[in-house]
Chain A
């Protein structure tokens, strides 16, 4: 393959040569544009949609569930419609199941086949979530993996690993930490991290 500059690919910013699949994506994208099946502003818009999704949305959902028992019940019954109440759309047409952590069960999520992730509410997954060590190990020795994240789960608490390989996306509803009774909903949301909603850490003050 000849080296060439990428002046005709204004969206490409890497300085290294693109890989095989990246080149295929560019070729397909440019063909679709050339055939006027999609237009560049639709692609830009979709990137804006993705960029607007961050763990702050998930944190807002969790904090609302902590302060509003009715919302919590609706969230556990149907994760998607409850998030939609807060204006969070499911642009990828996935359903969402919210897994509640309790004194009896600790949930965490993984996708062993690829990197399925609740992007609508959390944005892009962290690199370690997509990497093989996490995907391979967390279904086999979840307690050891959790310890590496600094999370100790006592033996009388069940570990429930949800492998998200097919239709549904999952979000963990962490336990509200003790000593937060006088915090506002916004202050509570600020405590909730991405990793807590994947289930690899607890929410701490």
Chain B
């Protein structure tokens, strides 16, 4: 809760947030990157699809949905990117390095599943 939120809570005031104003995922949430293979160019490399990770950072403000934009269907649709940390041992079965080694990658919210 931010300072502003707690000040409002203590005074009994509460501003109702619009849909999507708050992020779907919070830092620390466990997520899976969707196992989808749509035709076309996407910013989610295939090597991370289907892998599990943890939300490390919420990237604000919301950004254009590039997948729609790329096909001329944007209509101003926006969403959030998240920095998702994935252990290298999750990415590469048989990874021989230390277990804490990880990869962090920006993933658009439409690719994330809660687990």
Contact = CB atoms under 8 A, between A and B. Distances in A.
Interface stretch (A5-13, A118-126, A156-164): A156-164
B37 interface: no
B104 A163 contact: yes
B78 to A, nearest CB: 12
A43 B98 CA distance: 48
A163 B105 contact: yes
11 contacts: A113-B45, A142-B97, A155-B97, A163-B45, A163-B104, A163-B105, A165-B105, A166-B106, A166-B107, A167-B59, A168-B59
Which has the most chain B C-beta neighbours within 10 Å: A163, A165, A166?
Answer: A166
A113 B43 contact: yes
Interface of B: 43-45, 47, 57, 59, 63, 66, 81, 85, 88, 91-92, 97-98, 100-108
B104 A161 contact: yes
A166 B81 CA distance: 9
Contact of B98 (A97, A112, A158): A158
Given A158-B102, A159-B101, A161-B104, A112 B45 contact: yes
B6 to A, nearest CB: 21
Nearest to A139: B103
A53 interface: no
Given A139-B91, A140-B92, A155-B98, A166 B103 contact: no
Nearest to B48: A163
A158 B100 contact: yes
Contact of A139 (B47, B85, B97, B98): B47
